[in-house]
Amino acid sequence: MENFNSKKMRLKNKVAVITGGNSGIGFGIAQEFVAEGAVGAIAGRTQKTLDSSVAALNDQFIGIKCDVTKLDDLSSMFAEAEQKFGKLDILIVNAGGAIGAGTAGNMADVTEDDFDKIMDLNLKSVFFTVQKALPHLKDGASVVMVGSLAAHKPLDGLTTYGGAKAAVVNWARSFSKDLANRKIRVNILSPGTIDTPAFEKFGIPHDIAMELKHQVGSANLVQRIGLPSEMGKVAVFLGSDDSSFVIGQEIVADGGVYHF
């Protein structure tokens, strides 16, 4: 008798690369990919978190140290992943962030250096991650780029970041058209506020961080912030054949903030 509680294994034997897969949303995506049968590589800048994440993923994924703002690192990462697993079925372009120079504060205070740093991490790196992946992607592969609610809803202190993510959303359509001859689908997963280690980077006490999460979560219809695993489930859909007729689209997974 069929066990209807078992995983569908929608990504069985699929090869995936997940940038920024060693923490936060990227790690949540990697965990769901493992549960659905995928293998591949997670990429990140910190060897310690790469090692701990690989161990937690039951060694179905390898860790590759990579700074996505450096084109040589990207080329080496994809070459290593293909050498280990073969051509890629799925690329998750997740590395980025709204924490750091140039993200917090009024646009009038952003310096040129701040601007360049946030654009390098959240915009330039996305373009060249996809470009450098092309020789290593199978025809018919799925590319999922991680956007943000900030692409649509102006958020205090995130003007530069939001602008970068808005461009990424546009690229889902442009890239899909450019790559249509190879049947490569490009889509966007745009999270709202997600419970990730980013909260710890604020350097505020745990109880205050918990209150902040509650306040932010109360602004949506679900009345809580999201989980990395929930973003992982959306990424599984976009990466799998379940979304074979979905191309150049965006899923805003924000608990009901943007549209309400």
Which active-site residues does the annotation give? Answer: 161
Distances from the Cα of 137 to the Cαs of 163, 173, 183, 184, in angstroms? Answer: 28, 18, 11, 9
For residues 28 and 228, the answer to whether their CB atoms sit within 8 Å is yes
Q: What is the dihedral of CA 36, 41, 45, 48, to 10 degrees?
A: 80
Q: What is the dihedral of CA 132, 181, 231, 220, to 10 degrees?
A: 120
**Does an H or E element contain 136, and which?**
none
Dist CA 213 CA 28 (whole Å): 18
Q: Which residue bears the tokens 């679900």?
A: 222
Dist CA 216 CA 220 (whole Å): 8
User: The tokens of 172 are what?
Assistant: 């889902």
